[in-house]
Amino acid sequence: MANQHFQIVIIGAGPAGMAAALTTTKAGLETIVIDDQKDSGGQVYRNLQANQETSPAYLGQSYYDGAKLAQSFADCGAVYRPDCTVWQITDMHEVALVSRGKAELITADYIIIATGAIERPMPVKGWTLPGVMSVGGAQTMLKQAALGADNAVFVGSGPLLYLTAWQYIKAGLAVRAVIDITSAQQWRSAIPFAPLALLQPDMLAMGRKWLGDIRRNTEVINHVSAVEIIGQSQAQAVSCTLSSGDKIDIDSNHIFLHQGVVPNVNLTMATALAHQWDYQAHCWRPVIDVTGKSSDEQIYIAGDGGGIGGAKAAAIAGRLAASAIVARCGMPRFLAQLYYKLRHLHYLSIRPFLDRLYFPPAHFRLAQTDETIICRCEAVSKADVNSALASGASGPNQLKAFCRAGMGRCQGRSCGLIVQEMIASHTGQSMAETGYYRLRPPVKPITLAELASLEGPWPD
Amino acid sequence: MARLTGTAATRPVVIIGAGIQGCATAFFLSQRGQPVIVLEKDHVGRHASGVNAGGVRRLGRDIAEIPLSVASMDWWNQIDQLLDIDEGFHRQFYVKVALDDAGADLASRRIQQLHRAGFQHETWVDRDQLLYRIPHLTKSVLGGVLVEGDGWALPWKITRAFYDKAAALGAEFRSPVTVTSIDKSGEHWQVKTDAGMIETDIVVNCAGAWGAQIAKMTGDILPIEAHAPMLVITDRQPMFLQSVVGVMGGTLSFKQLDNGSMVIGGGKRGVADAARNLTQIIPAGLSSFVMTAGRVFPHLRDVAILRAWAGIEGYTKDNLPIIGNGSQAGIIHGFGFSAHGFQLGPAVGEALADLAMARQTRVNLTPFSPHRFAVSPDQAAGH
Amino acid sequence: MFKSTMPENGRIVHLQFDGEAITAFDGDNLAAALLRAGKVQFRTAAKNDPRGPYCMMGVCFECLVEIDGRPNQQACQMTVHDGMIIQRQNAPDSASKASG
């Protein structure tokens, strides 16, 4: 079977991908949007179309703000392939994907990668126990299944945590406590950037509303410096250490962790695109120009995958990248691009403030006890990693060979940043100098039969 | 030219490349009391030596390589004691299965050829015996060519172990250091790098896929090409394979590690960019070799590939390595192992150490002579 | 305990989890359906290392179950169907840490 070809291949049907498709289809460019979820919306607008029928109010207005975009996307005429997993982009701009057990190669003139963000890992003792989930996971359950945990404890910091706790309260769930790890020092470092944040007063107002409702409806424990989750076969309690040194134990079977989101760089790194360490946001991001063009002339990156900015910024970034491509296809879009650039800057104006306020504290970026699991997939503990470092592993890739951290199924998504942090701390190198796992395809695991299906059916 | 006469030289021997060949050479020289400086442009085992399929085999070798391979196996059989490690060599058996008549035919001719040359280590094993020893093999297998006592090792672990032991015995390793030129200075050599210059009498070129570049600096034109054979590692499976399995007429190999993961190498090449240390996986090639894997072990259909990679390796035109003295005194070459150098490493290290100390090597290295690629000055100028 | 935050409706479908009969709604996300049924542990990562869903978006690979005989399925990426047979997945005994 000949490979399909599209002028534009968009990977990801979140706000950035959907918005990009609107622009490219409007310009008449043959567009395909590939996404690994079953419905469009990515994570931020997960299950949006289904939820519009019942419209649970607790999900909040900013969620439903995505409805127009989702509807426009459904109508725009792009070929939409849900439930497809991209596992490689070759240097010939072939996109290798697998769908329902069958592999395909799709060639592209231009590729827009809009694969969004993932949670920053938060390695606390006991974080692998059943009942412990990321806050993003808890929110996804609300959106996807109208399901929430009673008596849950939220631990960490960052807008997503406050939003989700607020959604939980509005949904009528009893939230046992919010344990906040933001330190007073972080407030002080963020305040100088508050004026920029004032460019988005609605965002600040929303945040204040969330925090107010949370304070009125649950126990809030501030300035926590250490956290441990206790349990044998599942989470039973969370123990936190206050700035005073006192410890509080809170019983709960449901602990939700969060300390920010970071760009999901697995696909972009495996595609050998240039990346840089973002010191302000403390994460890796692809090197892109103002329109989102990567170090590859034909590949653009839009949305949180190029740098955290949130849903609205993502949609604009999608428009911006798409317009740049449309212009390169002979249809200049000067005014539109200018508009998008300005809107993008506007939406990003709150980042310096938020990035400093919710900067992940060092003692939560590193694990605090030897038994804490660092690599979840391979059950490698902090002690194991330290042992490998003591044996002379000097970088993330050497470390893999020493102790298997990063060799599991998630391909480093859960442990990469922790390992990098540990190596940097041990060697004294900067995070940028330390580097990251050398990521290779397949970007998600693919079975032998699925891969072979590019050639034919699996032998009997 | 100050020539060594079987004893230690006053200046450290400079070895270029800390793959298995370079580290093994450093080990043997250090063991004999010869100071050594190893220059590595990336880090120990960064390329082919750290990421190959780990096959430790005499099976399937070019006849010219067999004596070297057999000599190396002596070292493998005592690798734990040699390097102070545990479970360095997984000694099992290695079989290349014949999946069709063409494969069976090849097998038969191969064994005859070996027996005529006086080698008995490869034997034919029929279908029933094979299925008894490896129950999950495809039922349509016809038989195979087998070597008892071959097996596998973890390439990174072994390369690192040679490095560790050599260092413990006094070898000095410097990385990342890139050699920029090698110039004659009177009777000695000056090895210039991006981190200074070293004067020495002996330079051993173990620079793998970059061996030709280094050779050229010494005046030797020894053409190799850089390629990147692809491999995959799978998720863990219940243990089902206690041997290494290949395919007659192909380069596919399977092994199962202690933790249940399978390492499958296919000999299908990705794209190598030696200048930038980059390799590319080619989906169609990967798919093709995985399909062949399915013909051998169809029960692996739902096994997931967690990672594919390709190591940058140097290949010679005749697929035999280049091992021997260069055209100028004091230059020794040991590279171009064409994707089958891992098992040879210990014996090659020993041989290169012998050459560096002007001793007789245990194995005749004539088939690997750098001079087989000798070109006239006119031809050289054309490069 | 997980509970629904909206009135439950929809066609009931029947699943099996480790031999136990449980119900879900047609179209449910599998991980969510199992959590609603009170199942928080979906597998063991190594001997005695219990795990359950964590990210709900397909990046952590913790929610692996065997579905209708197929192993390593991410429950958070699957939709239930009537008659689905789900088994907890346990690491092969040979799973071990450290190099090798």
Which domains does chain C show, CATH number per domain? 12-84 (3.10.20.440)
What percent of chain B lies above the pLDDT cut of 90?
Answer: 91
Last residue of a domain, which of A259, A282, A309? Answer: A259
Binned at pLDDT 50, 70 and 90, residue B2 comes out as very low
The minimum CA-CA distance between B294 and chain A, rounded to whole Å, is 6
Q: What is residue A173's DSSP assignment?
A: -
B5 in any annotated domain: no
Do both A169 and A212 map to the same domain? yes
The minimum CA-CA distance between A327 and chain C, rounded to whole Å, is 34
A457 within 8 A of A102, measured Cβ to Cβ: no
B297: number of Cβ within 10 Å: 21
Binned at pLDDT 50, 70 and 90, residue A297 comes out as very high
A361 in any annotated domain: no
The minimum CA-CA distance between B55 and chain C, rounded to whole Å, is 15
Contact flag C70-B259 (C-beta cutoff 8 Å): no
Q: What domain range includes position B139?
A: 91-149+225-315
Domain count of the fold of chain A: 3
Q: Identify the closest residue of chain C to B89 by CA–CA distance.
A: C100
Res B4: pLDDT = 44
Query: CB distance from B106 to chain C under 8 Å?
Result: no
Q: What domain range includes position A20?
A: 4-118+262-332
Q: What is the pTM assigned to this prediction?
A: 0.94
B7 in any annotated domain: no
Q: What is the mean pLDDT of residues A149-171?
A: 97
Res B8: pLDDT = 61
The residue with greater pLDDT, C94 or A141, is: A141
The minimum CA-CA distance between A332 and chain C, rounded to whole Å, is 37
Last residue of a domain, which of A259, A291, A313? Answer: A259
Evaluate if residue C48 carries a pLDDT over 90.
Answer: no
Q: B350: domain CATH number?
A: 3.50.50.60
Query: CB distance from C43 to chain A under 8 Å?
Result: no
Q: A240: domain CATH number?
A: 3.50.50.60
Contact flag C53-A414 (C-beta cutoff 8 Å): no
Binned at pLDDT 50, 70 and 90, residue C9 comes out as confident
B54 within 8 A of B88, measured Cβ to Cβ: no
Do both B262 and B352 map to the same domain? no
What percent of chain A lies above the pLDDT cut of 90?
Answer: 97
Query: CB distance from A88 to chain B under 8 Å?
Result: yes
Q: Identify the closest residue of chain A to B291 by CA–CA distance.
A: A452
Query: CB distance from A460 to chain B under 8 Å?
Result: yes
Ranges of beta strands (E only) in A12-101 are 31-34, 79-81, 84-89, 94-99
Res C23: pLDDT = 96
B66 in any annotated domain: no
B64 in any annotated domain: no
Q: Distance between CA atoms of B171 and B23, rounded to whole angstroms?
A: 9
A210 in any annotated domain: yes
Do both B343 and B311 map to the same domain? no
What are the chain C neighbours of A401 within 8 Å (beta carbons)?
A: 99
Contact flag B284-A91 (C-beta cutoff 8 Å): no
Last residue of a domain, which of B262, B293, B315? Answer: B315
The minimum CA-CA distance between A213 and chain C, rounded to whole Å, is 18
A245 in any annotated domain: yes
Do both A114 and A186 map to the same domain? no
A323 in any annotated domain: yes
Residue found under tokens 């491509």: A325
A106 within 8 A of A4, measured Cβ to Cβ: yes
Last residue of a domain, which of B315, B336, B364? Answer: B315
pLDDT digits 0-9 by tens, B84-140: 999 999 999 999 999 999 999 999 999 999 999 999 999 999 999 999 999 999 999
Do both A284 and A300 map to the same domain? yes
B77-96 per-residue burial string, b: 16 or more CB within 10 A, e: under 16: eebeebbebeebbbbbbbbb
Peptide bond into A442 cis (omega under 30): yes
Do both A94 and A161 map to the same domain? no
A452 within 8 A of B294, measured Cβ to Cβ: yes
Q: Distance between CA atoms of C100 and B11, rounded to whole angstroms?
A: 39
What are the chain A neighbours of B291 within 8 Å (beta carbons)?
A: 452, 455-456, 458-459
Give the containing element (helix H, strand E) for A194.
Answer: helix A194-197
Non-local CB neighbours of A85 within 8 Å, separated by 6+ positions: A36, A97, A98, A99, A444, A446
Do both B245 and B296 map to the same domain? yes
A372 within 8 A of A124, measured Cβ to Cβ: yes
What are the chain C neighbours of B154 within 8 Å (beta carbons)?
A: 99-100
Domain count of the fold of chain B: 2
Q: Identify the closest residue of chain B to C45 by CA–CA distance.
A: B236
Counted residue by residue, chain A has a size of 460
Q: B309: domain CATH number?
A: 3.30.9.10
The tokens for A297 are: 């002339």
> Looking at chain A from residue 389 to 428, which residues have their Cβ under 8 Å from any Cβ of chain C?
401-404, 408-410, 413-414
What percent of chain B lies above the pLDDT cut of 70?
Answer: 95
Contact flag B294-A272 (C-beta cutoff 8 Å): no
Do both B212 and B325 map to the same domain? yes
Do both B231 and B302 map to the same domain? yes
Q: What is the mean pLDDT of residues C76-98?
A: 78
Q: Identify the closest residue of chain A to C61 by CA–CA distance.
A: A410
Evaluate if residue A356 carries a pLDDT over 60.
Answer: yes
Res B382: pLDDT = 57
Last residue of a domain, which of B259, B290, B315? Answer: B315
Res A2: pLDDT = 67
Res B284: pLDDT = 94
B329 in any annotated domain: yes
Evaluate if residue C46 carries a pLDDT over 90.
Answer: no
Do both B105 and B213 map to the same domain? no
Res C94: pLDDT = 35
Res C95: pLDDT = 36
Evaluate if residue B377 carries a pLDDT over 70.
Answer: no
Give CA B286 to chain center in angstroms.
Answer: 22
pLDDT digits 0-9 by tens, A363-413: 999 999 999 999 999 999 999 999 999 998 989 999 998 999 999 999 999
Do both B311 and B165 map to the same domain? no
Do both B117 and B232 map to the same domain? yes
A177 in any annotated domain: yes
Q: What is the mean pLDDT of residues A234-252?
A: 96
Do both A178 and A268 map to the same domain? no
Do both A248 and A285 map to the same domain? no
The tokens for B278 are: 């980059």
Give the closest residue to B94 by CA, choosing from B115, B63, B123, B69. Answer: B123
Do both A245 and A128 map to the same domain? yes
Evaluate if residue C76 carries a pLDDT over 60.
Answer: yes
Res B1: pLDDT = 37
A418 in any annotated domain: yes
Query: CB distance from A100 to chain C under 8 Å?
Result: no
Do both A272 and A156 map to the same domain? no
Mean pLDDT of chain A: 96
Do both B368 and B244 map to the same domain? no
Do both B164 and B99 map to the same domain? no
Q: Which of B260, B302, B304 sits opposite C94 (nearest CB)?
A: B260
Do both A246 and A191 map to the same domain? yes
B319: number of Cβ within 10 Å: 14
Q: What is the mean pLDDT of residues A187-216?
A: 94
Contact flag A445-B304 (C-beta cutoff 8 Å): yes
What are the chain A neighbours of B50 within 8 Å (beta carbons)?
A: 401
Query: CB distance from B300 to chain C under 8 Å?
Result: no
Q: A410: domain CATH number?
A: 1.10.10
B67 in any annotated domain: no
Res C26: pLDDT = 94
Evaluate if residue B364 carries a pLDDT over 90.
Answer: yes
Q: Which of A94, A408, A447 sits opposite B302 (nearest CB)?
A: A447
B61 in any annotated domain: no
Do both B309 and B162 map to the same domain? no
> Looking at chain A from residue 356 to 395, which residues have their Cβ under 8 Å from any Cβ of chain C?
376-380, 384
Do both A199 and A172 map to the same domain? yes
> Looking at chain B from residue 229 to 268, which residues have their Cβ under 8 Å from any Cβ of chain C?
235-239, 257-260
| Ramachandran angles phi, psi of A156, nearest 5° | 135, -140
Res B380: pLDDT = 56
Evaluate if residue B278 carries a pLDDT over 50.
Answer: yes
A360 in any annotated domain: no
Do both B230 and B294 map to the same domain? yes
Amino acid at the residue B249: G
Contact flag B282-A90 (C-beta cutoff 8 Å): yes
B69 in any annotated domain: no
The tokens for A98 are: 């697998």
Q: Identify the closest residue of chain B to C69 by CA–CA distance.
A: B302
Binned at pLDDT 50, 70 and 90, residue A360 comes out as very high
What are the chain A neighbours of C53 within 8 Å (beta carbons)?
A: 133, 137
Do both A129 and A218 map to the same domain? yes
Q: Which of B237, B258, B302 sits opposite C96 (nearest CB)?
A: B258
What are the chain B neighbours of A447 within 8 Å (beta carbons)?
A: 301-305
Do both A251 and A280 map to the same domain? no
Last residue of a domain, which of A281, A308, A332? Answer: A332
The tokens for B171 are: 């070898």
Q: Which of C1, C41, C55 sits opposite A130 (nearest CB)?
A: C41
Evaluate if residue C92 carries a pLDDT over 90.
Answer: no
Q: The complex's ipTM?
A: 0.95
A186 in any annotated domain: yes
Using DSSP's 3-state secondary structure scheme, residue B325 falls into strand
Tell me how many residue pairs between chain A and chain C have CB atoms under 8 A apart.
134
Q: Which of C32, C46, C61 sits opposite A147 (nearest CB)?
A: C32
